[in-house]
Chain A
Amino acid sequence: MAQSSIRNNYQLLVIGGSAGSLEVLINVLPHLRNDLALAIVVVMHRKPGESFLTDIIASKTSWPVKEAEEKEAIQQGHIYIAPADYHLLLEKDRTFSLDFSEKIHFSRPAIDATFETASEAYGGAVIGVLLSGANADGASGLGLVKKAGGLTIVQDPSEAAVPYMPEQAIQQVTVDYIATTTMIIDIINRIGQ
């Protein structure tokens, strides 16, 4: 877990989570610096038709929050939420594509699909954060973020409400940080300083 792995040229923060992660997310987002030069993409597992996630997150942060739209250009200073029941992919021209392919790890949106295409589109400029959850989604995608030179952070399983998802990532990937909620906030806020 090298401290030196934090650089200041990140452009995109992708946060993935499943069971037990919403609380972490709404604890982290309000404490992020307002001047971070990042676009934030949130991929949360949930049931199709559950659309209140965007509103909940919007109520917790001063950043503009919206559901990611098909072919929308990704802008820094915005938080984008993956819509329920679609995979959210990032294109090389830094726009979003939605995709209704098979579920991955029983999930759509799948965190793996977003991590994978984010690392393709942004290379090493990605910070991948994986939170609490009950399945193995996110681990292989986080491996690709790492391989492309991005920064990888996994919620400390001892703090996670459901430790399985962070544990899977830690087993499969040499992640940069295994961090509690407080540490996650601290690491992200140090970027660009």
Chain B
Amino acid sequence: MIKDEEVGILLNDLLNKYGYDFTEYSQASLKRRINRLFALDGFPSFAELRYRVLKDEAYLRRFVEEVTVNVTEMFRDPSFYRILRTEVLPVLATYPFIRIWHAGCSTGEEVYSMAILLQEANLLQRSLLYATDLNPDVLERAKQGIFPLSQMKQYSENYIAAGGTKEFSSYYSSRYERAKFSKELSERMIFSTHNLVSDRSFNEFQLIMCRNVMIYFDKELQERVLHLFDQSLEPLGFLALGSKETLRFATIAKRYTQLYKEKIWRKAA
């Protein structure tokens, strides 16, 4: 097991050598994931893990991918997607051009979910979906739009529970245990690295999705990231978070109104 001091040393290395700043991440989760990787890759000592992270860029990428949580789903929390479909998209439909930011999109399952909603509302052709993550490798996977076929039964159930009425399998072709989502969906997506800890606002959006990313941040970092989102949202824009995340304690909260019981807030005019 890695000790707290060793976690601190590693986080300093990552910041000094590579500019990845995990110092304001929730420690319990971060430490658990470093320990998991340590056991998984069979390191005999902390010194050897540290050496590998510092000297081997390919391993660094694995390290970053493994310590940041990249577990995601399509149409995750179907009732959330139902409200997006019935309440948010009709508002977005009144704009000539729709810009959506998926911050911390990981392997992209939720970006494809959104593209499907937009297509079903006939809005996809005038939308742009900006999908960002700090990790270039997961973005590369997101760009491919290939997910395990074994997940499709669950995703199809989620899709139907979210108000979907089409045949879910019409959105992908399956081959070798993998499902590849149609090119039409990804044509309106732009993938780019963006680090919520250190990078700035890069556009103005009508909807920002950032689900289950901020649960890994400490309170101060959460607060800063929410300000970044606030700066990046147009008046009357929507901010959507994960099902256990909240604006309740944030300073920006007074300018936002929550939609129903879902974790979607609308910015004041």
Contact = CB atoms under 8 A, between A and B. Distances in A.
Contacts of A113: 32
A101 to B, nearest CB: 5
A23 interface: no
Query: Which size bracket describes the interface of B in this complex?
Result: 10 to 19
Contacts of A116: 32
Nearest to A89: B28
Nearest to B214: A70
A6 to B, nearest CB: 27
Given A86-B244, A90-B28, A117-B28, A101 B33 contact: yes
Contacts of B27: 91-92
Contact of A99 (B69, B245, B246): B69
Contact of B244 (A83, A90, A91, A92): A83
Contacts of B219: 71
A100 B69 contact: yes
Given A98-B244, A99-B69, A100-B212, A91 B32 contact: no
A120 interface: yes
B28 A120 contact: yes
B31 interface: yes
B246 A70 contact: yes
A55 interface: no
A120 B215 CA distance: 19
B29 A99 contact: yes
Nearest to A101: B69
Q: Which of A86, A91, A97, A116 has the most CB of B within 10 A?
A: A97
Nearest to A83: B244
A91 B69 contact: no
Interface in A94-129: 97-102, 113, 116-117, 120-121
B28 A98 contact: no
Contacts of A117: 28, 32
A87 to B, nearest CB: 8
Contact of B31 (A71, A98, A100, A120): A120
B269 interface: no
Interface in B19-37: 26-29, 31-33
Nearest to B211: A100
Contacts of A71: 219, 222
Interface in B182-226: 212, 215-216, 219, 222
Contact of A100 (B26, B28, B32, B215): B215
Q: Which of B26, B28, B31, B246 has the most CB of A within 10 A?
A: B28
Nearest to A121: B28
A69 interface: yes
B71 A97 contact: no
B29 A101 contact: yes
A98 B32 contact: no
Contacts of B245: 70
A181 B42 CA distance: 40
A126 B216 CA distance: 24
Interface string B241-269: 01011100000000000000000000000
Contacts of B31: 120
Q: Which of A70, A83, A90, A113 has the most CB of B within 10 A?
A: A70
B33 A91 contact: no
Contacts of A92: 27-28
Given A97-B215, A100-B215, A89 B244 contact: no
Interface in B80-94: none
A167 to B, nearest CB: 24
Contact of B28 (A83, A91, A102): A91
Contacts of B26: 89, 91, 97
A69 B71 CA distance: 20
Interface of A: 69-71, 83, 86, 89-92, 97-102, 113, 116-117, 120-121
12 contacts: A69-B244, A69-B246, A71-B219, A89-B28, A89-B29, A89-B32, A90-B28, A91-B26, A92-B27, A98-B215, A102-B71, A117-B32
Closest 6 interchain pairs by CB? A89-B28, A97-B26, A117-B28, A99-B29, A100-B212, A91-B28
